[in-house]
Each structure stands twice: as structure tokens, then as C-alpha cells.
Amino acid sequence: MSKYKLFLLRHGEGAWNKENRFCSWVDQKLSEDGLKEAQDCGRLLKEQGYKFDLVFTSILSRSIQTAWLVLEAMGQEWVPVIKSWRLNERHYGSLIGLNRAEMAKEHGEEQVKVWRRSYDVTPPQIEESHPYFLEIYNDRRYTTCDMPKENLPRAESLKEVLDRLLPYWDSTVVPEIKQGRTVLISAHGNSCRALLKHLEGISDKDIASVTLPTGIPVLLELDENLKPVKPRQLLGDQVKIQAAIKKVEDQGKAIPST
């Protein structure tokens, strides 16, 4: 019997998504399309009559923007929003800023797939010489985390994402859900996947083939032990959902050279 409802949302398109570059911890804002995805999502949730009590986001602007636009569309701007680095997108290390298609051409689709979709293979660490190193680590927000800046990740596998997410989930999010609060987690592709893996008990192997489309709210109905009582539901128009899934999957493929 479903006792709790939890919503996960992967933010929509940022400028770099369009260019097929690993954005990760670089703080891109949403593109025009990404803004629209968030607004559409909010409208859908409003039509279906959902009421949130609490929203969690990462400290990357695109997940926060998404949450704000969703709340605005629903007339629930007053709902508290709590932000944490532990919901940040996966840290892609030295791959940050690189174009996926070029990488696939250079390293082959398989190697890129391994880096993107394996559970515990960590990409190479970001170094001080990396063009985006200072933009990330000089940012003041990383002095406000519950961990000293020097201990924050320099690269992560999906496993490492879950390692830093799970303590936050357990200590901060779970108690709210257990008090009956309807929670929305507005985050990123990999932080959402990591959480899904944990909640649904997906194996290390199977998580590779789990793709979350952008801008589509995911509803999990949970029992009193926070175990899902039914498969996750992607809310909204099914044709739109399938198109969104395909869009994400296509991003991993190399553009054929002409």
C-alpha cells in the first residue's frame, strides 16, 4: 500500500546540452528550451493537482531555476526549497566541457559509454590546468558545503555520486518523507539515477541502461519503509516522454563525419 509520494525531476536543457558537452559542475543556466521544459512540467503537475511540502535541489543554478519555475507554475512559490551540493550532477573530472560527439569519435562510442554508463569507473580527475578548474573551485558556494572544499570530489563514478548523496538522503530527506511531506527533488540526470538505483534496488549492471528524460516528473509511490510499491511513473503525455528519452540517448552517439 502506497504511503508516500516522492517526485524526482531532471532539469531541462542548458546551453551545453545543445552543444553536447559534459556540463557537470560548471554552473550553466537553463537554455530557453530548458526554461520551457520546467514550465511545462509545472503546468502538468498543477493540472494533476499535486501539492508539494518541500523541495530539494542541488547548488547548481539549473536545478534551482527548474524548481522555481515548477513552483511558479503551480502557485506554490511559498514551499521551502533546500539546496545541497550532495544533489549536484556527477562530477565528470577532466571530461568536463568536452564535446560528447568528439570524444566518441576520438575514444570510440564504447569508451564514452563506459565512462557515462558504468557504475564504478571514475573518469580522470580534473586538474588545475583544466580550463574550468578555477571557475568551479573558486566559486564561493563551495566554501559553504558541509565538507571542506579541498575534500570535495575531483571526479566521480556513479557509485561515488551515490556515496555522497546517500548520507544526505538518509539524514535530511527521509525524515521529511516519513513525516508525510510530499517531496520534490529537482536535480540532475546522474544524481536522480543514483537515487533511483538505491530506491528501486537496481543492480550495478542494470543501472547502465536506465535513462531519465529531461523535464519529465518521475513519481515514486513508496511504502512505510520507503520501498516502491509499483514501478516508477513518468508523468505526462507518453509520446512526449518517449521523444524525450530518445533525445537523451542520442546524445551519447557520435555524429557521423561527412
Partner 1 sequence: MAAYKLVLIRHGESCWNQENRFCGWFDADLSDTGEHEAKRGGQALKDAGYEFDICYTSVLKRAIRTLWFVLDSIDQMWLPVHRTWRLNERHYGGLTGLNKAETAAIHGEAQVKIWRRSFDIPPPSMDEGHDFYQTISKDRRYSDLTEDQLPSCESLKDTIARALPFWNEEIVPQIKEGKRVLIAAHGNSLRGIVKHLEGMSEEAIMELNLPTGIPIVYELDKNLKPLGPMQFLGDEETVKKAMEAVAAQGKAKK
Interacting residues toward partner 1 by CB under 8 A: 51, 59-61, 64-65, 68, 72, 75, 77-78, 80-83, 140-141, 144
Taking the least distance from each CB to partner 1, the nearer of 145 and 245 is: 145
Angle of helix 61-74 relative to helix 32-47, nearest 10 degrees? Answer: 40
Smallest distance from partner 1 to CB 61, Å = 5
Is 189 marked as a binding-site residue?
Answer: yes
Is 93 marked as a binding-site residue?
Answer: no
Angle of helix 189-200 relative to helix 158-168, nearest 10 degrees? Answer: 70
Is 85 marked as a binding-site residue?
Answer: no
Taking the least distance from each CB to partner 1, the nearer of 141 and 253 is: 141
Smallest distance from partner 1 to CB 119, Å = 29
Q: Residue 108: what are its φ and ψ, rounded to 5°?
A: 90, 145
Smallest distance from partner 1 to CB 209, Å = 32
Is 12 marked as a binding-site residue?
Answer: yes
Beta bridge partners of 14: 30
Smallest distance from partner 1 to CB 56, Å = 12
Is 154 marked as a binding-site residue?
Answer: no
Taking the least distance from each CB to partner 1, the nearer of 61 and 211 is: 61
What lies within 8 Å, CB to CB, of 140 at 6+ separation is: none
Taking the least distance from each CB to partner 1, the nearer of 65 and 122 is: 65
Taking the least distance from each CB to partner 1, the nearer of 15 and 210 is: 15
Beta bridge partners of 233: 219
Is 181 marked as a binding-site residue?
Answer: no
Which residues carry out catalysis?
A: 11, 89
Strand 4-10, strand 183-187: pairing: parallel
Radius of gyration for the chain, computed over Cα atoms and rounded to the nearest angstrom: 18
Smallest distance from partner 1 to CB 213, Å = 24
List residues forming the annotated binding site for substrate. 10-17, 62, 89-92, 116-117, 189-190
List residues forming the annotated binding site. 10-17, 62, 89-92, 116-117, 189-190
